[in-house]
Structure 1
Amino acid sequence: MARRSRVRAVATAVAGALALMAGLFGTGPARAEAADGVRGMTVRFVEHEIFIGTEPANAFVAYRWKVAGGGAAHHVHLAVDLSGVADFAEPAPSEHCDGNLCTLDLASATSDSHAITLVPKPGAAIGSSGTVTVSGTASDATVTGDRLTLTNGKTQLKVSESAEQLDQVPGDMLTFPLDVWNTGQLPAAKGVELRIDTTAGLHLQGSWANCRDVSASGRGGHIVHETLCDFPTPVEPGRQYALSSPLRVKVGDEALHDKIYYVVTPLTGAAPANGPGTPLTLVPNGVMPSDGNHEPSFTTYVDSVNHADFAVTGDTVTGRRGGHATLHATVVDRGPALVEDLLDDDVALDVLVKLPLGTKATKIPHDCYPPGTDGSYHGPRMGLTTYECSFTDPAPGDRHVLSFTVAIGPRTPAVSTGQVQTLEFFKGFDPDASNDSAALILRLAQGGSTGGGTPGGSGPLAGTGFGGGWIGWAAGALLLAGGVAVALSRRSRGGN
């Protein structure tokens, strides 16, 4: 009787818990339909300030929509209202719009995007500006719209190009004249900002009142130095301006493959106060070129004569047949040049390790794999005799110790030699080849070995010194392990 009472109590508690969960999360279609009734959908412009430029002579108005909380909204009607810019802009002929209204109807929507193209009306005044809105409705969602500002005309800044610099050496001083011009219809009324980025081997010279060094963290592309210069000089359409003095860059000891990158953008506010020194200025330099760079940025590559050096050191150890030994190979980046590939962020120095004849690996470093494979390799790595090890982003001063524990076979020679060697990942990356390889030597200890072997043994491991004698030794070890397991099993059963 007491047991039945406890069962009923448990059943009652479970039923109560299920009822609570149903109340919280819903258990049927009626609840789901209620959730659909309050679903929200947002429509947002990708950009909120758009200009109709000359390259190309149009503007792309893109917007995205997303339904909150998952699921879909149904019978969606979206509308882009152009009446606020109708005096100077209209949809391109290819767009399916009715007057100043461009619509999009969707049977269902979750998240996606759409864009329309606007062009200036003939004779539209440069500088005209207005508002574009997007709104919408849905049968089962509340749609929240957005707005943007559209202007007829644009500031389109360009910078001059510089020739590649080749065969530089540390201490060289490079000069980069820089011109800026405006191919747009609107001036950069408040002036422009110049950003100068350099890699490790290039050092911008000089200090100016209107320039400041900023952190290059997160810039990527191997950029380590970044300088910003603000010029409160209006840059008018059709005019060219030059720096009051060219940029001077010194080639440092770290130089090998380097680049300098510069980009100009319109200033949107007052130029901030900066460092000491006289200001670097922009001075008028005639009309803009008819055939020049068509971008507001440019990258000049600088290659220097290589004076990087990688050195490897081997090891000599003593062991016995049937035993184990640990060999240590050392790899050092002696610099001073920084070896990197500007077109690849994932640069690695590879080292080839060949273990002494008659041994096989039982423990290897983390970043070592069978030759020709990489970190994506998931096969067996132990028991091999040759490995390729990788060190990502090598830098001067880096030191890596590679430790390999090997099993010594029964037919290992009295003196067995392997090798560690750096591998070339681009031509001429290490001009000093005298220290690019070293020996890994295993000497057998005096007094014999812990296991014998049959000279000239056969089998798949015979060529490595692990022939029939080694297989017999391993089989004996397995038999011994099996006997111990049986004894332990019997003892376990006897104790129960």
Structure 2
Amino acid sequence: MTQQANRRLGPLRALGLVAAASLVAAGGAGTSYAVDTPLPVTITGEDRVALSLHSDNGQPTEQQVDLRLNAPGEPFEGDGIIPTVFTGEYTIRIDATELAGVADVELPCDADGLVAVCSGYELYAGQTYNKVGKIRLDVGDDSEAGDAGSIKVTGEGAGLEFTPLTVDVLVGGAEFLNRELSVPDDLRAGGTYEAPVGLRNAGGLGAEGAVLWFHGSRGVSFPDSYGNCSYAEVTTGPLLRQGTDAICTFPDPIDAGEAYALAEPLKVGTADFALHDVFTYAFSAVGPDGTAALRAAKDYRPGTGADLTLKKVSGADPADYTRYVDVDLPLKNTYDLELTGASLDAGAGDTVTAELGFRNNGPAWLSSQRSGGEPIGFTVAVPEGATVTRAPERCGENTIAEGVRGYFCWVSTPLLEDAEFTFPFELRVDRVVEGAKGKVALPEWDNPFDSDHANNSAWIVLNGSDGSDGSADGGTGDGTDGGTSGGPTPPGSGDGDSGSSGSSGADGTDGTDGSSGDGAGGGLALTGAGGVALIGGAALLALGLGAGAVVLLRRRARQSGGAVA
């Protein structure tokens, strides 16, 4: 049987029961078929698999081909129903006999050697729930470089017309590895790194040509423009996705076992605000099997200068080449995170607003390329005699020191070099306490990238006699300190947390919004799911770090489908 499940989000309409082997309405798309018109079904899956002779080709449980059936119609209707577009028996035949002696094959369903037959009964609109099975391919004892073959996947069923799938398999083809890079320690923001970009063909076959892709995050630029390259710049949207991409094509053959380098180093410029920005690159092959790694270039602009070329490198050390290359640059720059407080006068029963400030005085931004948008947190202690009647949206009640309740606030990253936020706390004075103070504080960590630690704390002062404006005073506080030593890794430190150039963790949207807005809005403390999440997660982390600990809220993993921001 197929591996598809009979999944429903609600009572399934009996769309396929009018005629067991005939067609009916095609679901949300509104397309219908006459009884004598076959339903078109496309067999989908990866159509090319390249097997390496020098690697394990992924984990054994990672199948390279995922076969599904794509039927007409939208996968979901407005009321949560998954439309059934066909009811009746059908079979899918997977024929891998061409791969005998070429590769080891693991087929799904009822397999007899290199042939498998999968059967099914219902089809749903789209391909999400029309699963057939997965195919795993490995090199075998007889596999040699250049071996090739195909898997033919076909289907049969009364009232159905299948579009078949052919999966081409190549063993030991061209396999490009990229030259490792190291950034000079003396590279500073505003400087240019000359990257010795190169490749080595570790495969068993040559390639007809090569394609080079390289990327720089927001603080990286490429001052040269080459005629055989195209460039795309993203300057809007989430900060984590902003930057420059380039694609260059090289038509000359790339011989097996040989190493190549760019005829001149690739210049990688850094902005004055750059700090731990990411530069990454990768070569891919245009091979004799017709596989090309060329990308659609409709959003790219062509280069204007002379062509960038490759030259062969003799005596290259294979240990200098790897599959993935990315570097942080520059490693030297600073930002200045500053908190500002407020000084207010009020009588008993009065309600006042403390406009707390958070800003980055630069010159660097906090790129968060490795942490994927991890927030920065700070604590707010409430002055004696006052009660918070309304807290900013990005603040939640928490234990900020042993036996001391206060608020934990956060600012999303990436954080622009001139970002500025306001956190308005509405306070009701229950009783007048002259000179009542509440400390506002970032963690007291050893952060070499923050150039001025003296302004990492400030005060909310109520009815002060000394005219204090709530600015940082460098004091140790009154037992309501929000900071602690030995805290979390400073943001922007490039600690190796995975995130994609790209990729993984948060998408950076909050970082973009936070860097352009005031970062705070109205909202009663501890209302809704956000407050619960903060108490359940951040509070436990803070207590685990000890009294007075302040932590950075780490976003939930992407696969959990949620984020704290």
TM-score (normalizing by structure 1): 0.68
Q: Distance in 2 between matches of 1:270 and 1:259?
A: 23
User: Could you say which residue in structure 2 is the equivalent of 1:64?
Assistant: 68
- CA gap of 1:354–1:168, structure 2 versus 1, over 3 A, is farther
Q: Counterpart of 2:254 in 1: which secondary structure?
A: coil
User: Could you say which residue in structure 2 is the equivalent of 1:376?
Assistant: none
Q: Distance in 2 between matches of 1:367 and 1:135?
A: 55
Structure 1 residue 291: Cα displacement:
3.6
Q: Contact 1:168–1:251 at 8 Å: present in 2 too?
A: no
Q: Distance in 1 between matches of 2:69 and 2:406?
A: 55
Whether 1:111 aligns to 2:130 is yes
List gaps (5 residues or longer) in structure 2. Answer: 1-12, 24-38, 58-62, 73-82, 124-128, 287-291, 466-565
User: Could you say which residue in structure 1 is the equivalent of 2:458?
Assistant: 438
Give the counterpart of 1:197 among 208, 215, 220: 215
Question: Structure 1, residues 383-404: CA drift from partner, whole Å, max 9, x if none?
Answer: x972122121221222112212
Q: Distance in 2 between matches of 1:290 and 1:438?
A: 55
User: Could you say which residue in structure 2 is the equivalent of 1:38?
Assistant: 22
Percent identity over paired residues: 19
User: Could you say which residue in structure 2 is the equivalent of 1:370?
Assistant: 397
User: Could you say which residue in structure 2 is the equivalent of 1:147?
Assistant: 165
Q: Counterparts of 1:386-401 in structure 2 under 5 Å?
A: 386-393=406-413, 394-401=415-422
- My pick for the range that moved more, 74-83 or 150-159, is 74-83
Q: Contact 2:225–2:305 at 8 Å: present in 1 too?
A: yes
Q: Distance in 2 between matches of 1:350 and 1:392?
A: 9
Alpha-carbon RMSD across the aligned residues, in angstroms, is: 4.0
Question: Structure 1, residues 274-301: CA drift from partner, whole Å, max 9, x if none?
Answer: 3233322101113664444342x41123
List gaps (5 residues or longer) in structure 1. Answer: 1-27, 374-383, 446-496
User: Could you say which residue in structure 2 is the equivalent of 1:480?
Assistant: none
**Which amino acid letter does the alignment assign opposite residue 247 of structure 2?**
L
Structure 1 residue 161: Cα displacement:
0.6
- CA gap of 1:55–1:147, structure 2 versus 1, over 3 A, is farther
- CA gap of 1:327–1:100, structure 2 versus 1, over 3 A, is closer
Q: Distance in 1 between matches of 2:199 and 2:221?
A: 22
Q: Counterpart of 2:17 in 1: which secondary structure?
A: helix
Q: Counterparts of 1:337-376 in structure 2 under 5 Å?
A: 337-371=364-398
User: Could you say which residue in structure 1 is the equivalent of 2:423?
Assistant: 402
**Which amino acid letter does the alignment assign opposite residue 117 of structure 2?**
T
Higher strand residue share: 1
Give the counterpart of 2:260 among 241, 246, 267: 241
Q: Distance in 2 between matches of 1:415 and 1:125?
A: 80
Give the counterpart of 1:160 among 179, 183, 191: 179
**Which amino acid letter does the alignment assign opposite residue 327 of structure 1?**
A
Whether 1:215 aligns to 2:233 is yes
Q: Contact 2:276–2:330 at 8 Å: present in 1 too?
A: yes
Q: Contact 1:88–1:128 at 8 Å: present in 2 too?
A: no
Structure 1 residue 97: Cα displacement:
4.9
User: Could you say which residue in structure 1 is the equivalent of 2:246?
Assistant: 227
- CA gap of 1:252–1:215, structure 2 versus 1, over 3 A, is closer
> What is the total number of aligned residue pairs between the two structures?
402
- CA gap of 1:41–1:370, structure 2 versus 1, over 3 A, is farther
Q: Distance in 1 between matches of 2:450 and 2:293?
A: 49
User: Could you say which residue in structure 1 is the equivalent of 2:314?
Assistant: 286
Q: Counterpart of 1:330 in 2: which secondary structure?
A: strand
Structure 1 residue 143: Cα displacement:
6.2
Q: Distance in 2 between matches of 1:141 and 1:127?
A: 38
- The higher radius of gyration belongs to 1
Whether 1:182 aligns to 2:181 is no
Q: Distance in 1 between matches of 2:464 and 2:113?
A: 93
- CA gap of 1:146–1:363, structure 2 versus 1, over 3 A, is same
**Which amino acid letter does the alignment assign opposite residue 126 of structure 1?**
G
- My pick for the range that moved more, 47-56 or 176-185, is 47-56
- CA gap of 1:71–1:265, structure 2 versus 1, over 3 A, is same
Question: Structure 1, residues 15-48: CA drift from partner, whole Å, max 9, x if none?
Answer: xxxxxxxxxxxxx99x863254336684624222
Structure 1 residue 259: Cα displacement:
2.2
Q: Contact 1:82–1:133 at 8 Å: present in 2 too?
A: yes
Structure 1 residue 180: Cα displacement:
1.1
Q: Distance in 1 between matches of 2:220 and 2:16?
A: 63
